[in-house]
With several copies, the nearest count.
Chain A
Amino acid sequence: MVIINKETRVIVQGMTGHQGTFHSGEMIKFGTNVVAGVSPGKAGTKVNGVDVYNNVIDTLPLKPDASMISVPAPFVKDAALEAMENGIKLVYILTEHVPVHDTMELYHEARRKGVFLIGPNSPGITVAGQAKIGIMPNNIFRVGDVAVASRSGTLTYEIVKAVTDAGYGESTVIGLGGDPIVGTTFSDIIRIFNDDPQTKQIVLVGEIGGNEEEKAAQYIKEHVKKPVTGYITGISAPPGKKMGHAGAIIEKGTGTAESKIKAFKDAGIKVASYPDDIPELLKK
């Protein structure tokens, strides 16, 4: 188990919304311990059998450990601050299109407060057989020893399914989020995976932009003995063109698909050319 488990007490900010309702239901089906919802003005109602409160502070008697944030982008910063200032130590932001200046502030505040921040624009985290906070499809997982970290959403499901279909299982799967700044990066998660006894091998699904893949590769080179398989998207992206919220602004010198693939190879990481190739590269 890494980061969350069956006991983790989760609240959902924005639970009465369309996404909040659907995904909290899926989470409960998966086995997640959803203890409360928060939606201003909706106190007293129930969603998926779970009580809804107006404010995070009202849920504190339930001792929440984690919050999933599924509110519209303009309200994400406020909701995440509400969770962090009320002492919640794991905050996951589902919402996409969050202004990067908002995320930047949340990133630094999370580090200051010792909050594990996932996202924004992330599919969340799933620990197979334990709990899921986020929106990954429930049925693609099998309990196993492959940990996956990815900057993508759909592509992650695709890869997890391929891994499962090939007869492997997963320990922890985390979507870091597709934005230029996210709370948890490859270099953070690689340490955690490396220390997790349940994880025997690691898959990293990177993307052009930033230098987190390069930093993680450096760490792997120096500290990680577990086999690592990598894949980088964006090799075809024209320099300077921005591929939506994929965080794909090519940066001078670093951040290209080439530099990331090179860093991976230098660190002894097996690099797949297509997502479909990943299962073949896993250690039997």
Chain B
Amino acid sequence: MNLYEYMGKEIFRKYGIPVPDGYVIENVGELKKFEYPVAIKSQILSGKRGKAGGIKFAKNAEDLKTFSEQLLNSTINNLTVKKLLIERMLNIKKELYLSITLDRATKQPVIILSADGGMEIESVPEENIHKIYIDPMVGYSDYIAREALSYLPVENKKQFSSLLESLYKAFVGEDALLTEINPLVIDAENNIVAGDSKVIIDDNALYRHKDYMITDPDKTDLENEAASKSFTFIEMDGDIGVIANGAGLTMATMDALTLHKLKPRNFLDLGGTDNIEIVEDAFSFVMRARPKLIFVNIFGGVTKADTVANGIVSSKKKFNIKQQIVVRLSGVHEEEGQKILLDSGIKAFNNMTDAVKELSKIQGVE
């Protein structure tokens, strides 16, 4: 789960990482008396927010109100601005980059640092990016900060060491996949402050962090609702509603559609279940995404083919589905399942290639 800047900064504050004074508003009525100048920062999950006009600066109350009105509910990088973070403006002397993320190759947390902060880390030259790996069985130790400091033009070394240790504690303690500070600001008084935050929390660990977790700001409402029912459901641009079982098979389904120039409307992994109601729930989400055509791709195992067949038939009735449903049923109880479908007028294929060809034919993209 991607967190908004202000949520990440709340975490930073909890771990003792300095952040600028500030507060969040959802409407201009919530604006407070505050020391000027201030930064007005649109809370959207998007890079290059500043370039797109999502960050403005105000020298007085009048400007603050005007800009806040402009930004609230505006659309920036295709996202609607629902919240603003109003922050004391920093007197920036230097901008650095600092993050901790999980390195899948070594299975270790890795600290990434650069003296070139304030821009996307991807655009920083390789030789200016430094990585320090942390062995999770050993954890953080002070020498790591000393090494980090050898790459950065920081005078207040103690403050940096304690910030880095706190960031590692936050990374571990909050089950983060990423804790990023960009820019890490050195201000005119040589104090180090987190100018921005980008924090991603492991979805699988959200049960340990119920305090501040509500809905994933990075997901659509429908996706969030599906997540609450434990479906992995992702909305996409196309027109073919997809239900498959298993993440790998679902992804392979998407791939097969794409290779045939067919466009999925969604990704939905039914998971390992043997329950008609769950099939119906899956259909309810897919139907609400309004697909033109539906593709159900099942390889029966734990999820038995006949159960899915029954779920398809009952969903068709329950949701009054008019769209054509193309089904591929294979694996455990394949024959029973195909018979059930045939009885209610749905032809089921037993291999994926044939089913995808049928979809191509219907869509006329052969």
Contact = CB atoms under 8 A, between A and B. Distances in A.
A–B direct touch in complex (beta carbons closer than 8 A): yes
Interface of A: 40, 54-58, 73-75, 77-79, 81-82, 85, 97-102, 104-105, 107-109, 112, 135-137, 139-140, 150-158, 161, 178, 180-181, 205, 207, 209-212, 215, 233-238, 241, 243-246, 248-249, 251-252, 255, 257, 273-276
Given A157-B299, A236-B257, A276-B353, 4 more contacts: A74-B207, A137-B332, A209-B104, A246-B251
Given A73-B204, A244-B269, A78 B142 contact: yes
Contacts of B122: 252
A81 B143 contact: yes
A275 B352 contact: yes
Interface of B: 102, 104-105, 107-109, 122, 135-138, 141-143, 146-147, 150, 172, 175, 177, 202, 204-205, 207-208, 232, 234, 236, 244-252, 254-259, 264, 267, 269, 272, 299, 301-303, 330-332, 351-353
B24 to A, nearest CB: 25
Nearest to A58: B150
Contacts of A212: 105
8 contacts: A82-B143, A100-B175, A153-B248, A154-B249, A155-B249, A181-B104, A236-B264, A246-B248
Nearest to A97: B204
Nearest to A275: B252
A100 B102 contact: yes
Contact of A55 (B105, B143, B234): B143
A112 B105 contact: no
B104 A211 contact: yes
A161 B108 CA distance: 36
| In the A-B complex, the 3 residue pairs with the closest CB atoms | A152-B248, A154-B246, A244-B232
Contacts of A99: 175, 202, 204-205, 208
B205 A100 contact: yes
Contacts of B247: 152-153, 178, 243-246
Given A55-B150, A112-B137, A207 B204 contact: no
Contacts of A238: 236
B147 A57 contact: yes
Contacts of A74: 207-208
A31 B134 CA distance: 36
Contact of B175 (A101, A154, A251): A101
Contact of A155 (B137, B252, B258): B252
A100 B330 contact: no
B133 to A, nearest CB: 8
Contact of A273 (B244, B254, B259, B332): B259
A155 B351 contact: no
A235 B43 CA distance: 31
B248 A56 contact: no
Contacts of B177: 100, 249
A235 B352 contact: no
A153 B205 contact: no
A188 to B, nearest CB: 12
A245 B204 contact: yes
Contacts of B104: 180-181, 209-211, 251, 255
A248 B256 CA distance: 17
A198 to B, nearest CB: 25
A100 B202 contact: yes
Nearest to B258: A236
A200 to B, nearest CB: 25
B8 to A, nearest CB: 18
A245 B107 contact: no
Contacts of A237: 251, 254
B136 A104 contact: yes
Contacts of B150: 54-55, 57-58
Contacts of A98: 204
Contact of B138 (A79, A81, A101): A81
Contacts of A209: 104
